[in-house]
Structure 1
Amino acid sequence: MKFQSLLLVGALVSLNLAAEEAKENPVTEAGVVKISWQDVDSYRDVKAVGDIQSRYELRVFETLTKNLNKAAEKTLKPNQKLELVVTDVDLAGDVRPTFGATPNDIRVVKDIYPPRMTFSYQVLDGEQVVIAGDEKLRDMSFMHTTGTMNDKPLRYESKMLSDWLKKTVEPKL
């Protein structure tokens, strides 16, 4: 009996250590953009709907990085890179339970649940910092600016970041 208890405790401890080890701060890169996602568990809303949470988070982070890179490649000068350290994300909409109507919760997107993101950033030219700052973005008009036929994943968040790049970073370059 003691051996079984010891074996069970050992398995639980190793599972806990593996979970802690796997929860490092992810970093995503695409082209001229590098994003460090800090303390992901404290983010306001990156809740998976019908998917494994860790897999969903990684897909969200990679998609946002790729989409921001598309805009940054048009905005930044040659040899410049954009680095962000994201400290909070709140995706557009709100996750609601279905109370058994479906096996998964659903994300309800309404204009009262805007996308938000908090981060620090810097534009580098080689090793030299050209621009740096901190941002708290929120797009209150997100439902009215992306078009009705746009069904791309994370379209509201991607547009918010592209608009920030054009309005805040581009004029300073």
Structure 2
Amino acid sequence: MRYQIIAAALLACAGMASAGVTVKYDNPENFQDMPHNDRDRAQIMKDLSEHFAKLAKKLPAGQDLVITVKDIDLAGREEPTRRRIDDIRILRGGADWPSMQIQYSLEQNGQVLKSGDERVSNMMYLNRINRYDNDNLKYEKQMLDDWFREKFEPARVSRADH
């Protein structure tokens, strides 16, 4: 029964689509740094997909963003607890910054306006003001906000960018 629930959650997250965005996760079981708990892993993918959908609402009408997340390394490091109920994530600010390998394509009317495959990261994640105060993915969301602003601001996206 447990594996059926996990499989259903992963399938739901594997190709979430919303108006203006399609998010896929390529082999999430092999991601560099995700929680060991299957429920928590599925929740992270769901939350990230929802955040990508929120960002995509800023795109001009008629543009669609297709994102494939190829790897995730969350901020901090997960360390086991003695009680074995839930592991805890420790943030030290050293070489434990958040990063994601993302393949993306911005399309309009079936034509690709912009595409790429890159590692998005935020090495200074603990040294910045963060507006996602009580969010479990506050550093990852801030990193994605910065990436989206840099790649997809209307003034920066044109046919010449491709």
How high is the TM-score relative to the length of structure 2? 0.80
What amino acid maps onto 2:65 in structure 1? L
Distance in 2, matches of 1:149 and 1:166, equals 17
Q: Which runs of 5+ in 2 are unaligned?
A: none
Match of 2:119 in 1: 136
Kindly report which structure 2 residues correspond to 1:117-128, keeping only aligned pairs within 5 A, or say none.
117-128=100-111
Query: Which has the larger helix fraction?
Result: 1
Match of 1:64 in 2: 48
Task: Check whether the contact 2:68–2:104 (CA below 8 A) recurs between aligned residues.
Answer: yes
My pick for the range that moved more, 161-170 or 37-46, is 161-170
Distance in 1, matches of 2:52 and 2:148, equals 9
Indicate whether 1:161 and 2:144 are aligned.
yes
Match of 1:172 in 2: 157
What amino acid maps onto 2:127 in structure 1? H
Match of 1:40 in 2: 28
What amino acid maps onto 2:52 in structure 1? L
Distance in 2, matches of 1:145 and 1:164, equals 15
Q: Any idea what SS the aligned residue of 1:122 has?
A: strand
Distance in 1, matches of 2:73 and 2:146, equals 17
**What is the root-mean-square deviation of aligned Cα atoms in Å?**
2.7
Moved over 4 A (4+): 21-25
How high is the TM-score relative to the length of structure 1? 0.76
Kindly report which structure 2 residues correspond to 1:71-90, keeping only aligned pairs within 5 A, or say none.
71-74=55-58, 76-90=59-73
> Which protein is bigger by CA-based radius of gyration?
1
Distance in 2, matches of 1:163 and 1:148, equals 12
Q: Deviations over 1:86-123 (max 9, x none)?
A: 110011111112234x6332111221211110011000
Q: Which runs of 5+ in 1 are unaligned?
A: 1-14
Task: Check whether the contact 2:32–2:71 (CA below 8 A) recurs between aligned residues.
Answer: yes
Change (3 A) 1:126 1:62: farther
Q: Any idea what SS the aligned residue of 1:172 has?
A: coil
